[in-house]
């Protein structure tokens, strides 16, 4: 018998209390209550819903007798991993080595686990008995104070018929609604006025092709401002590195919009806020740089011979110290009147009615026409810049090409909804592959230079000579990676420039340019 076809999870009507349910059930089957305890259930996920997107629920159940963290398949209710502990740490590496840590690490990576919702409840454990008073099925009843009560059937091997019989009783005779195990989290979020997956770093803006260009650009900037504001407090608090990452991405996108969605707003407005967002990009850079070095530290370590891996540990302590200092300075600037007042001014401007007189020269164009023109122009510039690069070109030429790629990528993200989804997806994928090799080249070059600088700074700190030897080996490794990325550029650009991709760009964007 296929047990997966039998409903094992049910939701009771709102009006049905645990006591009333137990009385009704007692008239239908023989059971005993093996345990009853007051419990506090707390759900956890990352800010960007990585567990929910993977159909996993992370919950901490605390009672007088026990406390444990469990990972549960949101659709089947199967317990994927369980660890007895009193709390949920922020980061995966703080869990004990084992299945739970392994599963979390692969999904969460660098993101922190944050509490989503906390629910007090009474948990009843029931043993369903046969004529011989032997347990043939277990039932867990979760009686919530503010949500509909939930029932879970826990089958025992060899007693499939008992499970089928009780499931049929609950569904067909008592007419209780089958549900999925993850529905409790959904209900709890709904009670808080939230929806699952209410945040994503992906930019999703639905534009109308006939919309005025200034109206569309305001919509884009409002969406980006929301991303800045929602990541701001956790960036200041340094909850995890991705808050600052997403904060900076929203800033970069805003800067790209001001520079690339040409002349939809008055030039005085563009100049004022381009300066402000450039400053924001500048002040957030040092902390992000240190975050990246710390995130890459294990890769740095793994690149070294076994005999040197422990010797590089002073570098981690040095980087952490610099990150803490940079974060402290950043928090001060993001709490300053200079930042708060200018961001409030920007928000006020975006919420005002569109100007009728002092407006950008492209304000009245349809956004589709402007998008066609801008994407096609930047694409042609990218091709020209890429074709001019030879094996002997300076590194700066590749860095400039990377900037042009970013401009094109942001424009395609802004205007994604104006074009066929599959076509845009294919073009963005091709562009991302080119960006990856250019990004690697620049990142390795900067890391190589900075590791040398860090080595010079650390010499004044009475650090063992073996550490500097290890850092020297790391610099050589980064240099080899940089050279490999540089050598891969020509192949990757040739792939991006292939005739099929050129034709796709031309078909989508050139006909109205």
Q: For residue range 50-96, what is the model confidence (pLDDT) as tens digits?
A: 999 999 999 999 999 899 999 999 988 889 999 999 999 999 999 99
424 within a domain of the structure (yes/no): yes
469 within a domain of the structure (yes/no): yes
CATH of the domain at 96: 2.40.320.10
DSSP class of residue 212 equals B
316 within a domain of the structure (yes/no): no
pLDDT of residue 359: 85
Residue 355 pLDDT greater than 80, yes or no: no
pLDDT (tens digit per residue) in 112-131 = 999 999 999 999 999 999 99
| Residue 25 near residue 165 (C-beta atoms within 8 A) | no
Do 217 and 160 have their domain in common?
no
Would the pTM count as exceeding 0.75? Answer: yes
Do 280 and 371 have their domain in common?
no
pLDDT (tens digit per residue) in 482-502 = 999 999 999 999 999 999 999
How much of the chain, in percent, has pLDDT values that exceed 70?
A: 98
Do 348 and 407 have their domain in common?
no
pLDDT of residue 4: 56
299 within a domain of the structure (yes/no): no
The 3-state DSSP class for residue 409 equals: helix
Q: For tokens 């409790």, what's the residue?
A: 184
Do 31 and 69 have their domain in common?
yes
| Pairwise CA distance, residues 83 & 60, whole Å | 10
The 3-state DSSP class for residue 385 equals: helix
Burial 264-292 (b: 16+ CB within 10 A, else e): bbbeebbebbeebbeebeebbebbbbbbb
Residue 356 pLDDT greater than 90, yes or no: no
pLDDT of residue 511: 65
For residue 231, count CB atoms less than 10 angstroms from its CB and return exposed for 0-12, middle for 13-18, buried for 19 or more: buried
pLDDT of residue 513: 41
Q: Which residues contact 346 (CB under 8 A, 6 or more apart)?
A: 221, 225, 273, 276
Confidence of residue 462 (pLDDT cuts 50, 70, 90): confident
Q: Which residues contact 236 (CB under 8 A, 6 or more apart)?
A: 330, 331, 334, 335
Burial 54-79 (b: 16+ CB within 10 A, else e): eebbbbbbbbeeeeebbbbbbeebee
Pairing verdict, β 31-45 and 135-144: unpaired
pLDDT (tens digit per residue) in 412-431 = 999 999 999 999 999 999 99
pLDDT of residue 80: 95
405 within a domain of the structure (yes/no): yes
Do 179 and 231 have their domain in common?
no
Confidence of residue 354 (pLDDT cuts 50, 70, 90): confident
Do 396 and 467 have their domain in common?
yes
CATH of the domain at 454: 1.40.20.10
Which structural domain, as residue segments, surrounds residue 181?
3-191
Domain boundary among 133, 159, 191: 191
Do 276 and 263 have their domain in common?
yes
Residue 305 pLDDT greater than 80, yes or no: yes
Do 90 and 142 have their domain in common?
yes
Q: Which residues contact 404 (CB under 8 A, 6 or more apart)?
A: 378, 381, 382, 385
Domain boundary among 331, 365, 399: 365
Sheet of strand 9-11, all strands in order from the earlier edge strand to the far edge: 79-84, 67-73, 56-63, 31-45, 114-129, 135-144, 150-155, 9-11, 177-178
Do 426 and 478 have their domain in common?
yes
| Pairwise CA distance, residues 312 & 14, whole Å | 60
Domain boundary among 141, 165, 191: 191
| Residue 426 near residue 217 (C-beta atoms within 8 A) | no
Do 86 and 235 have their domain in common?
no
Please give the tally of structural domains in the chain.
3
Please give the distance of CA 509 from its chain centroid, rounded to a whole number. Answer: 31
Q: For tokens 């989290």, what's the residue?
A: 185
Residue 410 pLDDT greater than 50, yes or no: yes
How much of the chain, in percent, has pLDDT values that exceed 90?
A: 93
CA atoms within 13 A on the CB side of 371: 27
Confidence of residue 357 (pLDDT cuts 50, 70, 90): low
Q: Does residue 365 come out as left (phi exceeding 0), alpha (psi in the -120 to 50 range) or beta?
A: beta
| Pairwise CA distance, residues 51 & 367, whole Å | 37
Do 360 and 397 have their domain in common?
no
292 within a domain of the structure (yes/no): no
196 within a domain of the structure (yes/no): no
Question: At 491, which helix (H) or strand (E)?
Answer: helix 465-496
199 within a domain of the structure (yes/no): no
Query: What's the whole-number average pLDDT of the chain?
Result: 95
Do 166 and 135 have their domain in common?
yes
Residue 98 CB neighbours (<10 A): 11
Residue 1 pLDDT greater than 50, yes or no: no
């Amino acid at each position: 018998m296929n047990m997966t076809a039998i409903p094992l999870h049910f939701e009771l009507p709102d009006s049905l209390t645990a006591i009333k349910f137990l009385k009704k059930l007692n008239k239908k089957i023989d059971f005993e209550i093996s345990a009853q305890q007051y419990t506090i259930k707390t759900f956890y996920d990352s800010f960007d819903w990585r567990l929910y997107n993977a159909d996993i629920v992370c919950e901490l159940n605390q009672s007088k007798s026990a406390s444990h963290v469990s990972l549960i398949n949101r659709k089947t209710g199967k317990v994927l991993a369980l660890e007895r502990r009193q709390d949920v740490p922020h980061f995966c590496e703080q869990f004990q080595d084992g299945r739970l840590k392994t599963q979390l690490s692969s999904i969460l990576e660098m993101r922190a686990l944050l509490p989503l919702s906390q629910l007090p409840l009474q948990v009843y454990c029931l043993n369903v008995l046969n004529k011989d008073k032997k347990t043939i099925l277990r039932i867990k009843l979760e009686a919530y104070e503010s949500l509909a009560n939930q029932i879970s059937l826990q089958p025992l091997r060899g007693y499939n018929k008992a499970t089928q019989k009780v499931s049929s009783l609950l569904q067909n005779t008592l007419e209780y609604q089958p549900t999925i195990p993850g529905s409790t989290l959904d209900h709890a979020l709904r009670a808080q006025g939230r929806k699952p997956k209410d945040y994503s770093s992906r930019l999703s803006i639905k534009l109308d092709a006939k919309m005025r260009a200034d109206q569309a650009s305001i919509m884009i900037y409002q969406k980006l401002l929301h991303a800045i504001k929602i990541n701001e407090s956790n960036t200041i608090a340094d909850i995890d590195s991705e808050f600052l990452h997403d904060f900076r991405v929203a800033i970069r996108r805003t800067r790209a919009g001001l520079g690339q969605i040409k002349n939809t707003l008055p030039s005085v407005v563009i100049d004022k806020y381009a300066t402000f967002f450039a400053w924001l990009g500048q002040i957030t850079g040092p902390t992000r740089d240190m975050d990246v070095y710390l995130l890459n530290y294990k890769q740095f370590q793994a690149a070294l011979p076994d005999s040197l891996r422990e010797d590089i540990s002073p570098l981690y302590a040095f980087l952490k110290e610099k990150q803490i200092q940079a974060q402290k300075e950043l928090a001060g600037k993001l709490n300053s009147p200079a930042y708060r007042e200018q961001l409030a001014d920007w928000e006020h401007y975006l919420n005002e009615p569109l100007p009728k007189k002092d407006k950008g020269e492209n304000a009245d164009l349809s956004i589709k026409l402007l998008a066609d023109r801008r994407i096609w122009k930047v694409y042609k510039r990218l091709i020209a810049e890429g074709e001019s690069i030879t094996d002997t070109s300076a590194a700066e030429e590749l860095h400039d090409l990377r900037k042009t790629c970013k401009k094109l990528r942001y424009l395609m993200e802004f205007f994604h909804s104006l074009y066929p989804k599959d076509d845009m997806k294919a073009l963005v994928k091709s562009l991302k592959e080119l960006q990856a090799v250019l990004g690697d080249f620049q990142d390795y070059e900067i890391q190589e230079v900075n590791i040398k600088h860090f080595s010079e700074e650390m010499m004044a700190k009475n650090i063992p000579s073996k550490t500097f030897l290890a850092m020297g080996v790391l610099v050589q490794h980064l240099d080899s990676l940089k050279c490999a990325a540089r050598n891969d550029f020509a192949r990757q650009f040739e792939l991006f420039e292939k005739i099929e991709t050129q034709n796709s760009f031309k078909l989508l964007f050139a006909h109205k340019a």
